[in-house]
């Protein structure tokens, strides 16, 4: 079964607005990653946050992690039409570092 669940399932915004996607997971994790997928293509790694970190930035991306609530959020600031894609969170099990599970994803549409 999938480990993470993203919320919302779909998000539509105007160019220039911020987009926030949430991910909840069930078990203890070593780290949480966010990946992006353009339609029908392979996923691309965006950012990783370790279980002992609370916030991380990379360009227009900001990720937060709350291990007490077993949740993470991905914020994309000043969105662009090119940000249109599906975004997935992935968690690595604390029990087995090799076990990486993805959520169902959030489909983001940025309208020009």
Partner 1 sequence: DSGVTQTPKHLITATGQRVTLRCSPRSGDLSVYWYQQSLDQGLQFLIQYYNGEERAKGNILERFSAQQFPDLHSELNLSSLELGDSALYFCASSGGVSLSGANVLTFGAGSRLTVL
Residues interacting with partner 1, by CB under 8 A? 1-2, 30-31, 33, 35, 40-45, 48, 50, 88, 90, 92, 96-105
Alpha-carbon distances, residue 21 vs 94, 95, 98, 108 (angstroms): 24, 26, 25, 9
43 or 76: whose CB is closer to partner 1?
43
Distance CA(3)–CA(26), nearest Å, equals: 6
Q: What is the nearest approach in angstroms of partner 1 to the Cβ of residue 105?
A: 5
Q: What is the nearest approach in angstroms of partner 1 to the Cβ of residue 82?
A: 18
Nearest to 65 by CA among 98, 96, 34: 34
Q: What is the nearest approach in angstroms of partner 1 to the Cβ of residue 59?
A: 17
């Amino acid at each position: 079964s999938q480990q993470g669940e993203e919320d919302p399932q779909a998000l539509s915004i105007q160019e220039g607005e911020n987009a926030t996607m949430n991910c909840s997971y069930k078990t203890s994790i070593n780290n949480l990653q966010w990946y992006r997928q353009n339609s029908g293509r392979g996923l691309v790694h965006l950012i990783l946050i370790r279980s002992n970190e609370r916030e991380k930035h990379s360009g227009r991306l900001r990720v937060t992690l709350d291990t007490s609530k077993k949740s993470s959020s991905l914020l994309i600031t000043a969105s662009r039409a090119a940000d249109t894609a599906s975004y997935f969170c992935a968690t690595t099990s604390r029990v087995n570092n090799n076990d990486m599970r993805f959520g169902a994803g959030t489909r983001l549409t940025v309208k020009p």
